[in-house]
Structure formats: structure tokens, C-alpha cells
Structure 1
Amino acid sequence: MYLPHQIVGQLLNQRFDHDVRRHFFRGMEFAAPIGDPGWFGPGSAVWHVHSHMQSLIFGLQCAAFLERLDPSIYWMGIHHSRLVKPETKDDPMPVLDPKGLAARLGHSVAFFIGTAYGSTETAERLALAVRSMHHTIKGTRPDGARYDADDPEWLRWNYATVVWGIATAHALYHPNPLRGKKIDRYYGEFVRVGHALGGTDLPATKAETLDCLKSYLPKLAVTYGAAMATGPNLPMPQSALNWAVRDTMPSWAMGLIQHSNPNPIERAARRALVWSIINGIGVASGPVPEFEQAKARVKGGVDPALAPHTMPTYQPGTDPVRTRSELEDAFA
């Protein structure tokens, strides 16, 4: 007989399989080749951090909130993704498209699971897909400022928001979080992903990441998207999760959106509520299948012939030039 949490877990996994894995994990290999550690491998901080799907997904939401404080990134998303309804992409008040939001999250989850646990070939393919899409993202904001997703400054900001969001969510909501110098291992390892996407001069510790993020403050602003995401009228549990996203931001970023935390006792209680939501879902869902497949792939040890190829091989400027439609066909 199944227990209630097992039934819930089955339903959650079936929904995730139908909505995410079926659409966004296609072509990704986790079980082979035997002995291939991928980009990270057993014992890595990345394997540990990404093994808790729920805190990883929450961390990606934290990163997205912080990221769009850069007006150029906000308009890149509006103009070049399916986040908003097409007919409103040039509107100062664009209308969100729920299907587009779900697709964006699905692609993000697939990328950060695939680069963590996939074979080396899978990780390289995913990085090529994202880089190739970035090469097509160039345009002009409504205020006349130009943007380019291949700009090293943009890549550095984007990278810093992602690693900060995931690592901070992990520290707060993973059931067995890395602490102190151990979390710096994650920052140091994750740089591989940033380099594979074309980033340069990337921060490699928590302190460096905080300094990097703060250095962008003169360029940041409260965009329409950020303002709409700070409203107090969301129903539970969305309102608790919305508060928790803002709670992960550096103090200067909280000030930018006029977010103020409650007293320490209430803050701890709110975090405990969010912890119970995130980890309740995690317990019901069970282990991440891709993590289990990766562990089995290298159970007998890492193949020395494969290990040297785990570092990203991308050299900036070497990607073929392709149109957006060609890319959507190639990486669908």
C-alpha cells in the first residue's frame, strides 16, 4: 500500500515528466558512456548542490529576479523570448505568457541538470545551444540603448546572478547544505559553466561574486518586471515564496526594490515555512533520476581516457553563425 506522501510524489513526478522531461530533456544522455564523469563528476560540489531539484529550481527563480534589475537583460527577455505575449513585446507594460514562462523554466532546469549530470557530450551540446541563442540576441531598448547578449559585461552579470541565486537558495533550503569554505568549492567549480557560455573574468568565490554583483549597481534600475514581481497581494503559498526570493538578495539589492525584512524571529519563521514547502516537495518526489543515472555511470570509477575531456572546450568566436529559426530546429 502506498503512503500519502508516496502518492503525492508519484503525481509530482508524473507531472514533471510530462511537462518538463518530455519536452526539454530530449537528446540528453546521463547513463553513458560508462566512466565519463561529465563536467564535474562524483565528489564535486556541483553534484551535491544540484541533487536537490526543488532548491535548484527555487535558486533559478532567485537568479531571474536579481538578473532583471539590469534594464538591458529585462528587454532582452521581452524582445527575444516567449516570456510575454508577442503582441505586447514592444509595450512598456508587456503581458506575461504563462506558457512562455513555463518553457523558460523548463529550458533552464534542463540546462543546469544536463551540465551537472550529463555526459561530456551532453554538456557541450547544451552549452553550444545556449551560446548560439545568445549570438542572436542583439537589439535596442525602448530608451534607445543597444544591447548584445555576447557583451562580456552582460555575460559576467548574468553569470554572477545565476551562481549567487543557486548557491544562496542551496544554503537556505537544501536539507544538507554546504557551509563555509565548502560552498566556495561550488562557486569555483561552477565557473566552468560560465566559461563554456563565453564568460570571462568571472568571480570564483562567494565574496568575489558579491563584489561583482555590487559593482553593477550604477547600471541597475527597478524595471517594470521587477516592480510587478514585488507586489504584496499574491495568495499563499506564492506570497511566501515571492518573499523568500527577495530574501535571498544582497542587502543593497533589497534596498533598490525597497524590500525590508521583518525582525529576526519572524524572518526565521518565514524561512522555516518556505523550507517545509520546498523540502516537503523534495521528500515526496524522491531522488533526482538524472543524478542516480550519473552515479551509476561512474560507479566503477572514472575512465582516465574520458576524464581529460571534461573541461569545456569552447573558444570565443568559434561558433558557426546560425539564424534563430535554424537554432530552434537544431536544438528542438
Structure 2
Amino acid sequence: MKSNPVARRFEQTFDAEIRSRFFKGLDFAGPAGDPGWFGPGSAVWHVHSHLPTLVLGLVAAAYIEGLDPSISWMGYDHSRLAERVDGVPTGNIDPEGGAVRLAHSISFFIGTAYGSTATAEKLARTVRAMHHTVKGTRPDGVAYDADDPEWLRWNYATVVWGLATAHERYHRRPLRDIDRYYREFVRVGEALGGTDLPTTKAETAECLESYLPRLAVTPIKAFQTGPNLRDSKAKPWEPGSEFMDWAARDMLPRWAQKLALYQPPNPVVLRARRASLWLALNALHEATGPLKEFRQAQKRAAGNKPSPFLSTAPKAPDPVLSREEVEAMA
């Protein structure tokens, strides 16, 4: 157990609320010598070891992802993120559902980064299986399908953009060559079934903007944005809070900020907000240090270099499972 009080409190909270519930069956300590999908010295290990910026990147990714109307309706129809009363979605965020979704995301991006090869493959199979269950029709009659290659490409681009952008802006020691992260992270996207994925920062920015003609702020997205969150029950650092909404929209490309009706404060206030967030995120990381899963992976893969890139794309069709069966896998 870490010695300083902040680290102890963080470790106890993380263990009770996330690790014990969402890290079940994930192996970080063995087998000895297995570097996993990435390994020591990789850009992914460096980026994902800073949990506060990882979380911020996931929140920003979820924000821009939801500018696709189909994804808004996927979440509304299928996700725990949507608040429901007697089973009927209200259009608001369910704080507990948001926390569960974030915890599953943390588990996935820590597990695929630092877990054994078998652990990373298991996580990818589970997410693919969940995607297979997400199909339906929007109120305007347009069908949506989480297995659609165009959706997978958009989803991948939003995630790698969010994680890389949060790292560049708020990490104390950001990578000098951020494209190395983009190149490595493709392994995750391909494991989830993605094809024709962007592999550099410039390609990702171009990919995101190319989707602009099909993006929109749906009523669902509007209910989860800006002034509509002033009475949110979420704590400031949780998804669905007014502050996290600001932090996510402030990271967006300018075209997306216009779509989301984001107006930055005056330059002095903007610099002060960003500096305060930078200090808070890095102070928390310095106080707590990397997760024990990172330290276990270091010991497991000691002396091994990052493994050469091998395709993680599924080699055979996945079995068709019900949502209940998929949830039992997690």
C-alpha cells in the first residue's frame, strides 16, 4: 500500500468502485515475459499510465462521438448512460450509468495497454460482442448498426483523438512524437473490427472533419450540454457535470466547437482555467502514481521490448450472443 494519505485513499476508492467490479478476470502479472499488445517503452504505455489525463480524454472522446446522431440514439436506446424512469429514457444522463460506462472504458483501455496478450484479446472480444447487439432505427427512420464499418471508423477516430489530445494538452511530460501513439493505437481499433483507420494526428483530424456533413446536435445531445447541466447531480469531475462538459468542449476542434455552440471565455480566463486543470490533473497523478496494474505489467514484461506489430483483426466471425450473455462475459 502506498504511504501518502492521498495515494492510500485513491487506491482504496479505485479498488472498491472500479477494480473489484470491472477488472475481474484481467491478468496483469503473468505470464512472465509476455509484453502484451504494446510492452515497455511503447507510446501507449506512457500515455495510459497517466490515469487523470486518460479519463479526461475518454470524456472528450465520448463528447465528440455523440455528435453523430446515430450514436446519440444508440446510447439512448441501449446504454446505461441514459436516465430511465420506469424503463423509459428521459433524455438526461444517469450519473450512476455514466460512472459505470466510464469504469468499463477505464478497464478496457488499461487492460488492453498493460494486460497480458490473452487479457487484451478477451477485452476486445467482449466489446465486439456488445457491439453486435447494438442495432436499431432512429426516429427519422435511419437504421443504425454498431458493426457498420463507417461507424467503427468514426468511433475509433474519436477515441484516439480524445486520448492523444488530452495527453498533449495536460500531461506533464507529453510525447514529442505523438504520431507514435497514433500508429501503435491502431492495434486496438483493428481488434474491435475497424478497417481503413487513420494512423497519424493529421489523418485523424482529417477523418473527423470528413464526417461533418452527417453530424448534428440532437435533442439528446443538447440535454447533455452546457446550460442544461447546471442542475446536474454529477460531481465536477464526473461525466455529465458542467465542468467536465466545459473541459471536453474546450478540447474540440474549432469546427466541432461551433457545432456544439462553444464560446471560449476571454483569453485570460481561458489560460487560467486550462492552467488550473493542468495543475490539478498532474498533482493528482504525482500524488497517486501509476496504477498497480502498470507496475505488475512492468515486472511481467521486464527486459522485453515492445512486440513487433502483428494484426489484431478478428480472424473469424464472433458467435452471436444476447446482451445478457455478453454482460456475463464482462
Q: Establish whether TM, by shorter chain, passes 0.5.
A: yes
1:44 corresponds to? 42
**Cα contact 2:93–2:224 (8 A) shared by 1:** no
Letter in 2 for 1:298: A
Picking from 284, 287, 296, the partner of 2:287 is: 284
User: What SS does the aligned partner of 2:136 have?
Assistant: strand
User: What SS does the aligned partner of 1:58 have?
Assistant: helix
2:260 corresponds to? 257
State the alpha-carbon separation in 1 of the partners of residues 242 and 91 from structure 2. 22
Report the Cα offset of residue 289 of structure 1. 1.1
Deviations along 1:295-326, whole A, 9 cap, x unmatched? Answer: 111113359xxx579641513x6111111112
State the alpha-carbon separation in 2 of the partners of residues 246 and 125 from structure 1. 33
User: What SS does the aligned partner of 1:57 have?
Assistant: helix
State the alpha-carbon separation in 1 of the partners of residues 251 and 17 from structure 2. 27
Change (3 A) 1:240 1:323: closer
Change (3 A) 1:89 1:280: farther
State the alpha-carbon separation in 2 of the partners of residues 96 and 244 from structure 1. 17
State the alpha-carbon separation in 1 of the partners of residues 303 and 297 from structure 2. 12
Give the RMSD, CA atoms, in angstroms.
Answer: 2.1
**Cα contact 1:141–1:147 (8 A) shared by 2:** yes
State the alpha-carbon separation in 2 of the partners of residues 106 and 273 from structure 1. 25
Say yes or no: does 1:120 pair with 2:117: yes
State the alpha-carbon separation in 1 of the partners of residues 308 and 42 from structure 2. 16
Moved more, 221-230 or 37-46: 221-230
Picking from 2, 7, 10, the partner of 1:9 is: 7
Picking from 209, 226, 230, the partner of 2:225 is: 230
2:278 corresponds to? 275
User: What SS does the aligned partner of 2:37 have?
Assistant: coil
**Cα contact 1:134–1:150 (8 A) shared by 2:** yes
Deviations along 1:153-205, whole A, 9 cap, x unmatched? Answer: 000000000000000000111111113xx100001110110000000010000
Change (3 A) 1:230 1:96: closer
Say yes or no: does 1:326 pair with 2:325: yes
Report the Cα offset of residue 281 of structure 1. 1.9
Letter in 2 for 1:168: T
Change (3 A) 1:202 1:89: farther
**How many percent identity over aligned positions?**
57
**TM-score, normalising length: structure 1:** 0.90
User: What SS does the aligned partner of 2:57 have?
Assistant: helix
Say yes or no: does 1:178 pair with 2:175: yes
Q: Map residues 133-172 of structure 1 onto 2, 5 A cutoff.
A: 133-172=130-169
State the alpha-carbon separation in 2 of the partners of residues 50 and 11 from structure 1. 21
Letter in 2 for 1:219: R
Letter in 2 for 1:267: L
